[in-house]
Structure 1
């Protein structure tokens, strides 16, 4: 049995101002995006990509993550609450971001980016996909440090007590997601994209990998108390992940067929 260390969510105190761990995790995600992207530009054959373009892609992507993540949380998880308290929509410092909303925001942002540079949208997404998992893993580590999004009750020896929640033994689901969505997904995409692939296949593999890992991890994660489990005993995260897997499989099959012609 392990006990959550109950970290201070503020990493650095500067008088009345504080730098939060979760903000630092976003910074890790953005910096890893730049570092890995620059390596890809230098060592792999990617159509027309330059370092200034990479910086621009990060700017577009960051806007997509923040705007989409917030809107997704509002629409998918807390629509009734925010419809009654619209002024709190902009109170992002209080928390409340959705991966699936952020993902849709990034898709929209990268479509605008692709129009700006006259490069196919799927080609853009194939370049971006391997750069994302490290940031996802950092975000899950931020969840763990904050002691949020804890797991379901378990009898497993590797369970963890989250004292701010209760004294029950729970799955450290944030660490599971860190390992699957961050480390494992990164290795799969990085290795797969190391060779030329059919357009859209790297993006498809991201959809399949993330959707599958998130779907499985949700079985160990405590459902949001304001939603609980939905139809068929699945969580909102699982229902939002299923279309990713289905679309990803279809995309992968189509990309392989087109490439074989």
Structure 2
């Protein structure tokens, strides 16, 4: 059978003339699951019942806009010449780092307005953010995007991957199989999710679960980004995601150390 017939159609189904893409379905599914997991923990930690839903109503659209702004900024050599393409988000072109920055800023302002600790909310939300990222990366799989350099089919088989993943990793335009970097990141984030859930029981200082998330994700993203062929670049061969990852690792480590030294007595995650 033709290999192309075995590959997954990025369109899940059609609502009349409107195609519904797997990418969108997976993103929405990730947000919903992340919300329910976060809401359960938020209620345990004493947050108002409607708090997380209200935050998402602001954070989700702002994150999408920021993800697009980040992408367009990094590709300004193209969009500066084609400004009419800037709003065409349906043709692809969003960046997770832009979405995260937008979400964090929104959450910070929102928590200040509600007189609730940002770090308390960030600790609660960190595992949920990883859930969204774990599921969201499978949207890249469906679209055959965010992949790495060429590899052999034998290499993928040696990873003990099922055929339905291996077949999707054959990119017709390239005429070769490619690294499933979407899978590497999804697995890395899943491991991080387990670690963060365990750290809740350790009862770390407030903010350390959130900063731990930043360090973990950034560390993995730095190395995985080096395999990808669709990176956004700052200058020359300097990949923006790797630069942001280094900044994230440094900020996370410095924040943990600084707060350990200066915040006395320290509020613990399970204290309230």
- Aligned residue-pair number: 251
Q: Does 1:194 align with 2:192?
A: no
Aligned with residue 123 of structure 2, among 122, 126, 131: 126
Secondary structure of the residue that 1:84 maps to in structure 2? coil
- For normalisation by structure 1, the TM-score amounts to 0.87
Which deviates further from its counterpart, 108-117 or 154-163?
154-163
> Aligned partners of 1:228, 1:124: CA distance in 2, in Å?
32
Contiguous gaps of at least 5 residues in structure 1: none
> Aligned partners of 1:132, 1:211: CA distance in 2, in Å?
13
TM-superposed CA distance for 1:65, in Å, is: 1.6
Aligned with residue 211 of structure 1, among 199, 205, 218: 218
Judged with a 3 Å threshold, the aligned counterparts in structure 2 of structure 1 residues 148 and 212 are, in CA distance, closer, same or farther, namely: same
> Aligned partners of 1:122, 1:186: CA distance in 2, in Å?
18
Judged with a 3 Å threshold, the aligned counterparts in structure 2 of structure 1 residues 57 and 228 are, in CA distance, closer, same or farther, namely: closer
Correspondence for 2:52: 54
- For normalisation by structure 2, the TM-score amounts to 0.84
Q: Spell out, residue by residue over 1:85-109, the C-alpha distance to the aligned partner (whole angstroms, 9 max, x if none).
A: 2222221111110111111101111
Correspondence for 1:25: 26
Q: Is the 8 A contact 2:68 2:98 kept in 1?
A: yes
> Aligned partners of 2:144, 2:258: CA distance in 1, in Å?
42
> Aligned partners of 1:152, 1:230: CA distance in 2, in Å?
19
Secondary structure of the residue that 2:63 maps to in structure 1? helix
Aligned with residue 68 of structure 1, among 49, 66, 69: 66
Aligned with residue 86 of structure 1, among 83, 86, 93: 83
> Aligned partners of 2:233, 2:113: CA distance in 1, in Å?
40
Judged with a 3 Å threshold, the aligned counterparts in structure 2 of structure 1 residues 228 and 202 are, in CA distance, closer, same or farther, namely: closer
Q: Is the 8 A contact 1:230 1:236 kept in 2?
A: no
Q: Is the 8 A contact 1:33 1:58 kept in 2?
A: no
Contiguous gaps of at least 5 residues in structure 2: 158-165, 266-272
Query: Alpha carbon RMSD of aligned pairs, Å?
Result: 2.3
Q: Is the 8 A contact 1:140 1:174 kept in 2?
A: yes
Q: Does 1:38 align with 2:42?
A: no
Which deviates further from its counterpart, 241-250 or 157-166?
157-166
> Aligned partners of 2:66, 2:201: CA distance in 1, in Å?
30
